[in-house]
Structure 1
Amino acid sequence: MAVSFVAPGPCGVAVRDRLKHLTAQDERVLRAVGAHQGALASGDLKARCADGLDHSAETWAARKRELTALSSSRIAGAITKATHDQWALARRCQAAYIQNLATGVKTLRHRLSLPIGQKGTKRAAGGYRSKNEWFRKSRRVAMLEARHAAAVDERRAGRVRVVRGGKRLLNTRHHLSEARLTEGEWRERWEAERWFLAADGESGKRFGNETIRVTPDGEVSIKLPAPLAHLANARHGRYILTARIGFAHRGAEWADRIEANRAVAYRIHLDTDRGRWYLTASWQRSVVQTIPLETARARGMIGVDTNADHFAAYRLDRHGNPVGEPHRFDYDLSGTTTHRDAQIRHALTRLINWAVRVGVAAIGIEDLDFTAEKTRDKHGRRKRFRQLISGMPTARLKARLVSMAAEHGLSVVAVDPAYTSLWGAQHWQKPLATPHRKMSRHDAAGIAIGRRALGHAVRRRTAPPPHDRSDRAGYRTVQAGPGDRGREGTRPLTTDRPPGGPSPSGKRKREPSASKTVRDAPSTQQWVQDLLMCTG
């Protein structure tokens, strides 16, 4: 089992507002600047991909000097930084692709080595059902091995495959009827995605950014690149937009930063579906010190089981005892990415609000990662299961939960997801079910997750003492610690001599009684057992 840990807090903030009441001239300038800088970014990305593993500080400086002559030093720095981030992302995706291919080849090789028709187990798949299927899979493993070898060669050579604007949008060009788009609509989206209207912040400069500047009263101005300086309507080659910005969310925090001339990065983009322009402001926050794990456990925990359509949550006190009733927070992951993202945010908002009301300090979740589970070769014909795990946004969910919980003073404790559903159903589902409370397997898994986050075992009780102890085997457990009050222990002696030994005087205290003699009265001593000892 992996050790539970407190997830680190968010390190950045991003807020967005709409650029309203733009004039036709404003839109023409924004489109011209975006297209010009987008072309520079495409050329810089091509040069970076050509460098491959031979990239160095000298080549970076040379590319930046070439871009500075066509724009400005700050714009050149922003473009080269974005290029390096995109190239690094492509390298990470390439590594994941190679790992996925290797997993598929390993699974296929294992199943091909088994006799046809051999049944599998819970941990490993069996042989293929027929000779025809075995033949087709033998051809598929050869294809995957060829792809794996080609991908490994490309990685060693430093070659990556990157599409500015996105591979999915590029492939949509060949399926316009299915996407319900015309060629003109697709072209507009494609050009808008390839624009570059962004600028990194710089501390010490006026309002934290010299390229895209936003004043405290909401005035937005852009430093135009050298070839477009004739479009300026203000001094020093700047263009001032007619729109005014006023961030409703985190507006006070944003205003404090720009008035102190602290760095704030901006990005302007066009939503082609709505025909609206937006400005996004982002900045880094000081590293939030995560609280110790014991402090997070002090006021109890809420265990959350993540499922395909809902969160199953249960509150536990600091001793691991379930409190109250199970809670369920539903969401729908069908539809577009925007819809799924909104559903996740809404469910997390309800979960966090409930956690604040009950007064806990932390939320326990599973540290899920389905990266190696999505290959079709591992799960065979289980297409619905593959779609299920592929549709669960585990990485985005964890990032959103950590950032949203931090705003309410809550910590997130990540635990090992192994056997939480199995052991939760085995030890908690039936004992907590009543005529008025129906416990599902997911509710019981939430209890298992919460107990693991609190540092307790999932089981409600430990095994009873063995037969060689004085109190013999039975329902009593040895779960309480040695320092707990009312803990279970060996019973004190009821006589003044050890069991089986003679009395101190050497004489019997009582002569053998005759038949039908009144027996000793039951002991009046009461044994008090703390209720907390019944659980770990």
Structure 2
Amino acid sequence: MGELRNIAAPFVASSPHGVAVRTRLKHLTPDDEKVLRLVGAYLGSLASKDLKARCRDGLEHSGQTWAVRKRELTPLSSSRWAGSITKATHDQWALARRCQLAHIQNLQASVRTIGDRLSLPVGQKGTKKAPGSYRSCREWHAKSRRLRVLEDRLTAARADREAGVVHVVRGGKQLTRTRHHLDAAQLTQSAWRGRWQAERWFCQADGESGKRYGNETIRISPDGAVSLKLPAPLASLANAPHGRYVLACRVTFAHRGTEWADRVAANRATAYRIHLDTGRDRWYLTASWQTPATPLLPIEAALTHGVIGVDTNADHLAAWRLDSHGNPTGSPRRFSYDLTGTAGHRDAQVRHALTRLLHWARTCGVKAIAVEDLDFAAEKTREKHGRKKRFRQLTSGMPTGKLRARLSSMADRTGIAVIAVDPAYTSRWGAQHWQKPLTSTTRKTTRHDAAAVAIGRRAQGHPIRRRTAPPPAHRSDEQGHRTVQAGPGVPGREGTRPRIPGPRTRSVRPGRGANAGNQNAQHRPGRSAEHETWQQDSLPLSL
């Protein structure tokens, strides 16, 4: 067996530092929709020009160039609109920069993998640690040509990164490519054009503490009245004083509405975004704000009442509750979800599964949930698992990033800590040590259930393997402790029996005890056993 890699220590995941809630803008008048479209299109054109200027600056960007861009946008809109546009531009450029680095790392991994496989003789099989060579000379030749293509891409990407060049488009690259495949996307040209324009609109404003209702640009009063500050060229459309336009609708937030109302009443900063869902032809408003960081609960305190180990899979969450000593209790639970369909449907499925999981944890009284700190970035490359298409689809379909973000946010509201553990060998060792012992005539334990037990035990600091029984030929106390999961001070721990002075009732041969010479000293009525009939006393023998 090869050398195992070091297992990272479990840790408590940090809680989110922000909140975002969304509601629908209902009963908008035609004038309201006209104003929102004009404002979004005009500010979107300014945002596109600002993004172009930011990409042109590249690595030469500084606070001074930022101030120059904001001063140029202020007379065309307003000071606060200009601040929101430049901030959104910086966030988009930084995101493109991070994606560029991830793309370079992916190309490096692909080039390294292909180079290693090409260096092996054709037909050589791989091992558990590394893939083998290619199966035929034809495949070897095709991969050698692909290696040259990837090397060229890597060289170009590295040159762009060194020069500070990023490739970003407002509206999204996926929607841009859809324009060339309208039949496959089942879209007409006009429908695509409407979606493209809506994605490039800009109608969002950052909050400002101390100002009225926490935002001077897009303002929402506690009673739900929505008004926005119109840019200078569109000030003629105002229906309220000071160049403001008040929408005819009223909004309410079903989720965290009380928290939002408290912030608005206290004039605390709240950011808003108005956007159009072209598929449903509905307008939505999203409110977001920052929350103070919740102090992390020590991992020892979180594990006081046990833990629930959760194994993440492509279509369900396998969970099992463990007590404070690492022993699985009760029956395993499975929370299924369907990740087909639209992104909204997939997100709802994940949320529903996590809601059921948290409700069960709260019912059990457990204060911690252990999950794997999964990252399949290096495992789903086509160069490493080119022929294993189902495996690549399986790892790509697991919502690891979205599940971690959702679980951390939802668990923070319920007071349950999320413990991230190293995923190394949990499925293999769980199946090896726990699947068969936990299987009975009435319960069939799956490999995923056993992995959940392994994840929970690793979070508690216990080894994954079960307690070690003595050898069959020597099942006595001389073999030492019979468990590997409980400490010496734990009550009821299986270990070497303490030495009790004096003979034991069932282990002393006749005539060898302390009172062997005096049979009348035994607790029996009458004379000695040699002369009287034996009668059992009513007292228990252990006294």
Please give the alpha-carbon distance, in whole angstroms, between the structure 2 residues aligned to 1:136 and 1:491.
71
The Cα shift of 1:482 comes to: 2.7
Partner of residue 94, structure 2: 88
Q: 1:220 to 1:474 in 2, by over 3 A?
A: same
Contact 1:214-1:220 within 8 A present in 2 as well: yes
Please give the alpha-carbon distance, in whole angstroms, between the structure 2 residues aligned to 1:318 and 1:289.
23
Partner of residue 489, structure 1: 496
Select between 387-396 and 75-84 the one with higher mean Cα deviation. 387-396
Partner of residue 527, structure 2: none
User: Which residue of 90, 112, 118 corresponds with 1:112?
Assistant: 118
Q: 1:463 to 1:26 in 2, by over 3 A?
A: same
Determine if the alignment matches structure 1 residue 30 to structure 2 residue 36.
Answer: yes
Partner of residue 417, structure 2: 411
Partner of residue 276, structure 1: 282
Please give the alpha-carbon distance, in whole angstroms, between the structure 2 residues aligned to 1:379 and 1:293.
37
* Post-superposition CA distance 1:396-434 (Å, at most 9, x none): 110001111111111100000011111111111111111
* Post-superposition CA distance 1:161-217 (Å, at most 9, x none): 101000000100001111111100000000000000000000000000000000011
Please give the alpha-carbon distance, in whole angstroms, between the structure 1 residues aligned to 2:541 and 2:123.
67
The Cα shift of 1:246 comes to: 1.1
Partner of residue 225, structure 2: 219
Contact 1:464-1:478 within 8 A present in 2 as well: no
Unpaired segments ≥5 residues, structure 2: 1-6, 504-514, 517-539
Please give the alpha-carbon distance, in whole angstroms, between the structure 2 residues aligned to 1:319 and 1:478.
11
Determine if the alignment matches structure 1 residue 370 to structure 2 residue 376.
Answer: yes
Contact 2:238-2:244 within 8 A present in 1 as well: yes
Please give the alpha-carbon distance, in whole angstroms, between the structure 2 residues aligned to 1:429 and 1:130.
39
User: Which residue of 190, 195, 202 corresponds with 1:189?
Assistant: 195
Please give the alpha-carbon distance, in whole angstroms, between the structure 1 residues aligned to 2:187 and 2:488.
71
Q: 1:468 to 1:493 in 2, by over 3 A?
A: farther
Contact 1:15-1:280 within 8 A present in 2 as well: yes
The Cα shift of 1:490 comes to: 6.4
Q: 1:217 to 1:115 in 2, by over 3 A?
A: same
The Cα shift of 1:484 comes to: 2.8
Partner of residue 509, structure 2: none
Please give the alpha-carbon distance, in whole angstroms, between the structure 2 residues aligned to 1:422 and 1:475.
26
Partner of residue 454, structure 1: 460
The Cα shift of 1:483 comes to: 2.2
Partner of residue 395, structure 2: 389
* Post-superposition CA distance 1:354-410 (Å, at most 9, x none): 111111001110000111222100112111111111122211110001111111111
* Post-superposition CA distance 1:473-512 (Å, at most 9, x none): 388346542323354236537679xxxxxxxxxxxx99xx
Alignment of 1:52-67 (within 5 A): 52-67=58-73
Please give the alpha-carbon distance, in whole angstroms, between the structure 2 residues aligned to 1:405 and 1:274.
31
User: Which residue of 407, 414, 423 corresponds with 1:401?
Assistant: 407
Alignment of 1:503-514 (within 5 A): none
Alignment of 1:295-374 (within 5 A): 295-374=301-380
User: Which residue of 202, 211, 220 corresponds with 2:208?
Assistant: 202
Partner of residue 137, structure 1: 143
How many corresponding residue pairs?
502
- Structure 1 length as normaliser, TM-score? 0.90
Partner of residue 235, structure 2: 229
Q: 1:27 to 1:480 in 2, by over 3 A?
A: closer
Could you list the runs of 4 or more consecutive aligned residues of structure 1 that deviate by over 2 angstroms after TM superposition? 462-465, 467-487, 489-496
Please give the alpha-carbon distance, in whole angstroms, between the structure 2 residues aligned to 1:278 and 1:478.
56
* Post-superposition CA distance 1:135-176 (Å, at most 9, x none): 111111111111111101100100001010000001000011
Unpaired segments ≥5 residues, structure 1: 497-508, 511-523, 527-536
Partner of residue 12, structure 2: 6
* Post-superposition CA distance 1:25-53 (Å, at most 9, x none): 11110000000000000000000000000
Please give the alpha-carbon distance, in whole angstroms, between the structure 2 residues aligned to 1:177 and 1:470.
76
Q: 1:50 to 1:248 in 2, by over 3 A?
A: same
Q: 1:525 to 1:6 in 2, by over 3 A?
A: farther
Please give the alpha-carbon distance, in whole angstroms, between the structure 2 residues aligned to 1:378 and 1:145.
17
Partner of residue 482, structure 2: 476
Please give the alpha-carbon distance, in whole angstroms, between the structure 1 residues aligned to 2:313 and 2:408.
18
- DSSP 3-state at the match of 2:330: strand
Select between 203-212 and 139-148 the one with higher mean Cα deviation. 139-148
Q: Counterpart amino acid of 1:327?
A: R
Partner of residue 175, structure 1: 181
Please give the alpha-carbon distance, in whole angstroms, between the structure 2 residues aligned to 1:478 and 1:136.
53
Please give the alpha-carbon distance, in whole angstroms, between the structure 1 residues aligned to 2:364 and 2:407.
18
The Cα shift of 1:471 comes to: 4.4
Q: Counterpart amino acid of 1:135?
A: H
- DSSP 3-state at the match of 2:352: helix
Task: Give RMSD over aligned pairs.
Answer: 2.2
Contact 2:50-2:86 within 8 A present in 1 as well: yes
Please give the alpha-carbon distance, in whole angstroms, between the structure 1 residues aligned to 2:253 and 2:139.
59
- Structure 2 length as normaliser, TM-score? 0.89
Please give the alpha-carbon distance, in whole angstroms, between the structure 2 residues aligned to 1:80 and 1:301.
46
Contact 2:480-2:496 within 8 A present in 1 as well: no
Please give the alpha-carbon distance, in whole angstroms, between the structure 1 residues aligned to 2:74 and 2:119.
60
* Post-superposition CA distance 1:312-355 (Å, at most 9, x none): 00011111111110101111112221221111111111111111
Contact 1:470-1:490 within 8 A present in 2 as well: no
Q: Percent identity?
A: 68
Select between 372-381 and 58-67 the one with higher mean Cα deviation. 372-381
Please give the alpha-carbon distance, in whole angstroms, between the structure 2 residues aligned to 1:270 and 1:210.
22
Partner of residue 506, structure 1: none
The Cα shift of 1:525 comes to: 11
Q: 1:473 to 1:482 in 2, by over 3 A?
A: closer
Partner of residue 20, structure 1: 26
Partner of residue 379, structure 1: 385
- DSSP 3-state at the match of 1:413: strand
Contact 1:4-1:453 within 8 A present in 2 as well: yes
Q: Counterpart amino acid of 1:176?
A: L
Contact 1:471-1:491 within 8 A present in 2 as well: no
Alignment of 1:42-81 (within 5 A): 42-81=48-87
Please give the alpha-carbon distance, in whole angstroms, between the structure 1 residues aligned to 2:245 and 2:373.
48
Please give the alpha-carbon distance, in whole angstroms, between the structure 2 residues aligned to 1:201 and 1:33.
19
Partner of residue 132, structure 2: 126
Contact 1:303-1:316 within 8 A present in 2 as well: yes
Alignment of 1:220-299 (within 5 A): 220-299=226-305
Q: Counterpart amino acid of 2:175?
A: L
